[in-house]
Structures are given as structure tokens and as C-alpha cells.
Chains A and B, each alone.
Chain A
Amino acid sequence: GQSLEQPSEVTAVEGAIVQINCTYQTSGFYGLSWYQQHDGGAPTFLSYNALDGLEETGRFSSFLSRSDSYGYLLLQELQMKDSASYFCAVRDSGGGATNKLIFGTGTLLAVQP
């Protein structure tokens, strides 16, 4: 089957660093993405990893290890506005016939003053 697992909630303080982990199990794999969703809003794209290693975009970084079926999103210098849900997603090649994007269950990040 296809599944992505993330912690349900993470709490951190302003200025800190937080890491949100994602482990996945899919029949095919094109890459790991991360999306942010504020309460009541639409999910927005943060990052994408197709190859192993770390991708950095400003305060956010994302890491992928394909051999471990594992990735994480690293948020640095946390700000109150970073309080949101974060979803990992895998583009599942599913034998090549589909490009279904499967989302994890989401991690609710609460940033405290």
C-alpha cells in the first residue's frame, strides 16, 4: 500500500529550529514535496527533493534519503507566522501509469512566543 507518516503535532518557540520528519511507503517514487497550510487556507508549495541530500530555500530546508524512504523539513529562526500544518507528499509513479500525489497526515506546528 501507499502511506506517509508524520508526527501529528510539534511545538517550538520563536527563534528556534524545528525538524518535521516524514517516512513513506509507495509503489513508485518520483520525489518528496512539502506543503504548508494555514488554518482555513489552501496548501502552498515549500520544497521538492528528487535526489538524496539537502535543499535549502531561505529559512526552510528539506532533506531526502531514498534508501531510507525518509525525509524531513527543517525550519530555522521560527516565527509566529510559521504556525501552520505541514504536509509531506510523494509523487507516486505507480508503475508509470499515474502521477498521483499522495499526502501525509500532516504535522501541526505551534510556535510559541
Chain B
Amino acid sequence: GAGVSQSPSNKVTEKGKDVELRCDPISGHTALYWYRQSLGQGLEFLIYFQGNSAPDKSGLPSDRFSAERTGGSVSTLTIQRTQQEDSAVYLCASRQGNTIYFGEGSWLTVV
């Protein structure tokens, strides 16, 4: 596609429910990143994929967070048993050379 696409763009969920966030990277980009950004804060690294493997998942905050990537393309970030502190924008990005391209993010609100 023309850019990194993320869905849903907005999600409001009840505490304790599971959510899935989807990222469709730019076609041909093998590197894919997930970041989290709380209001007015910086970008917190979550996980990095090279192809379908995740050589670095050190940023996942807890075992409630998991991510997978299939076919070297689409990635899904899953948050189980959501908590209010999970409320943030979840940004996906894919890399070509030294430039990474971000999607518009999935705004998650846990109530």
C-alpha cells in the first residue's frame, strides 16, 4: 500500500477485555516496529520484527502483551486483560533503509 495502515484507528474497551490491533506495513518493508505513546510523552519501544521473527521483544511491558507477524507482512499486537494504564496510542512503523514510516496509530482507551 501507499503507507502504513493501522486499524482500528480508535478503540474504547472495558477493563479486563482483550484487544487486537492490526498493522499493515508498506509493501516490501521487512522490518516492522510497534511503539506506544502516552499523551504528551515520547515513543516507547515495544517490539521489532525482521520478517516474521521478532529478534527484540524487550519492550513488551508484561506478559499480557504479545505480537505476531505472518507472511512477512501484517502484524497484530494483542493486549489481554486490558488495564487502564494500557490507554495510549499504539504506533506501528515499517523501515526502508534508514527511514521508518509510521502509521497514524490506534488510539486505545480502557475504561
Q: Contact string, B85-111, partner A, CB cutoff 8 A, digits 1/0?
A: 000000100010011111111000000
Interface residues, chain A, with chain B CB atoms under 8 Å away: 30-31, 33, 41-45, 48, 50, 87, 91, 94, 97-106
List chain B residues, Cβ under 8 A from A91: 98
List chain B residues, Cβ under 8 A from A42: 91, 102-105
* B14 contacts partner chain A, Cβ-Cβ < 8 Å: no
Q: Closest CB of chain B to A84's CB: distance in Å?
A: 13
Q: How far is the CA of A87 from the CA of B43 in the complex (A)?
A: 9
Q: Are A41 and B104 in contact (CB-based, < 8 A)?
A: yes
Q: Are B42 and A45 in contact (CB-based, < 8 A)?
A: no
- Given known pairs A87-B43, A98-B55, A98-B56, the reply for A43 and B102 (CB within 8 Å) is yes
Q: Are A97 and B45 in contact (CB-based, < 8 A)?
A: no
Q: Are B56 and A45 in contact (CB-based, < 8 A)?
A: no
* Chain B interface residue bracket vs A: 20 to 34
User: Which of B31, B35, B42, B102 is A105 in contact with, Cβ under 8 Å?
Assistant: B42
Q: How far is the CA of A87 from the CA of B40 in the complex (A)?
A: 12
User: Which of B35, B50, B59, B99 is A45 in contact with, Cβ under 8 Å?
Assistant: B99
Q: Which of B38-57 contact A (CB under 8 A)?
A: 41-43, 45, 48, 50, 55-56
User: Which of B41, B42, B48, B103 is A100 in contact with, Cβ under 8 Å?
Assistant: B48
- Given known pairs A97-B55, A99-B31, A100-B56, the reply for A44 and B45 (CB within 8 Å) is no
Q: Are B48 and A104 in contact (CB-based, < 8 A)?
A: no
Q: How far is the CA of A102 from the CA of B104 in the complex (A)?
A: 19
Q: Contact string, B21-49, partner A, CB cutoff 8 A, digits 1/0?
A: 00000000001010100000111010010
List chain B residues, Cβ under 8 A from A103: 35, 42-43, 45
Q: Are B91 and A43 in contact (CB-based, < 8 A)?
A: yes
Q: Are A102 and B102 in contact (CB-based, < 8 A)?
A: no
